[in-house]
Amino acid sequence: MATSDTACCADENPICPICLGAFNIPRQLTCMHCFCEHCIKSYIKSKAAKVDDIDKIECPVCQTVVRRPHRITSVESWISRLPINTVLLSISSESKVNVIRPCDACQSRDVMKSAEGYCVDCEEAMCIDCKVVHQHLKATKTHSVVCIEELTRSPQNALKYATAFNCPEHDGEDIKFYCRNHRLACCVVCCGTNHKNCESVLDLKTEASTLLKEEDPGVIIESLKTLENHLNKFTEINKEIINNLECQMNVVTEAIRDLRKKLNDALDELERKLKMDGKVIYKGDMILRQEENHACLALLNSIRNSRAVLEVVNQNGNNIQKFLVTDKTKWQLTSYSDLIHEKFEKINNITLQLKVDPLLQSLMEGKFAKLVTK
């Protein structure tokens, strides 16, 4: 996978739509969208991890369904069957890797061997063994066989090596015809099946120049450039929005810091005030309690004195003395009982509680402020 973080202009360096970096080995899907080999492999593996047997994927760009070739079971084999877009490879300044293409002849027999050469006449890649046989057969010994690496050094040579024009419906078949009725390029198998009843199926080898007059590449290129300009403008607008959002976020962050400072100052002042109020309440209650304790001690001593006098008179006095003191103490007892009962009724335990204002409660619950967008 490419490691570039910034998308470059397509004229300078083609970009992988997944990693947004320069291509290393651009693998092409049937919809003609290309991705780094590592990127598309990771993409397919991520999809395969969700199902037991993956037989198709959707293109990450256009969501076109891409089906797995027949007799292919592993993701690695599937990836190796995806054609390398050698045109992208040849114009990518970051593509400094040795591209491995399988031998076409061996691949047709489900044998995977790396191609060493390419026959320009047969338009087939071949391994070293097939290359030797090819160069010694009477029918093919005069064919022009070149090294694979030579074909990726320029866009012109890369087009000779291109496998990007294979039929998406039939594995191993090249696109050779064009159906006007369906406006669809097809292979010889397609012509005999899907397009056998079509009235206008043209041989691309003889009719390509005529079709080009109807589909001028220059017009398409200009249209693509226009779309690129629109997207570049959209990207610039988005960048400006992101920059503005970052600035606004900085302002909001600073406002939050300022708000936190003010709240901390307010809480510090509240703490100071509450402590002072608490001290006033504490001091007032202490004075009241001390006065009550003093009155209780006075009453307690009076009760003790009355009891002491009555005990002495009861032990040593005559009957008249006993009666008078007992009668007087009896009335005192009633008075003492009333006073004690009154004190127990008035006694209470003061509890200090912090009563939080609803506004402050909202702040603590995170409801005091929120960000809004316009």
- Residue 112's φ and ψ, nearest 5 degrees, are -100, 110
Q: Where are the beta strands (DSSP E) in the chain?
A: 26-28, 34-36, 56-58, 65-67, 117-119, 124-126, 145-147, 177-179, 184-186, 201-203
Is there a contact between 115 and 137 (Cβ–Cβ < 8 Å)?
no
Q: Please check whether residue 132 lies inside any domain of the structure.
A: no
Q: Please check whether residue 20 lies inside any domain of the structure.
A: yes
d(CA 31, CA 58): 10
Is there a contact between 190 and 168 (Cβ–Cβ < 8 Å)?
no
- Which residues are within 8 A (CB) of 127 and not within 5 positions of it... i.e. 6 or more apart? 103, 105, 106, 113, 114, 115, 116
Given this model, what pLDDT does residue 151 score?
A: 65
Given this model, what pLDDT does residue 6 score?
A: 40
Number of domains in the chain: 2
Of 78, 96, 114, the last residue of a domain is 96
Is there a contact between 98 and 149 (Cβ–Cβ < 8 Å)?
yes
pLDDT band at 362 (very low <50, low <70, confident <90, very high): confident
Of 96, 119, 144, the last residue of a domain is 96
pLDDT band at 171 (very low <50, low <70, confident <90, very high): low
Average pLDDT over residues 197-207: 89
Q: Please check whether residue 324 lies inside any domain of the structure.
A: yes
Average pLDDT over residues 69-95: 73
Kindly report, residue by residue over 229-282, the tens digit of the pLDDT: 999 999 999 999 999 999 999 998 998 899 889 889 988 988 898 888 888 888
Q: Which domain holds residue 275?
A: 259-364
More confident residue, 319 or 173: 319
CATH code assigned at 53: 3.30.40.10
List the one residue out of 181, 173, 174, 177 whose CA is nearest residue 202: 177
Q: Please check whether residue 335 lies inside any domain of the structure.
A: yes
Given this model, what pLDDT does residue 354 score?
A: 74
Q: Answer yes or no: pTM beyond 0.85.
A: no
pLDDT band at 359 (very low <50, low <70, confident <90, very high): confident
The distance in angstroms from the start CA to the end CA of the chain is 40
Q: Please check whether residue 330 lies inside any domain of the structure.
A: yes
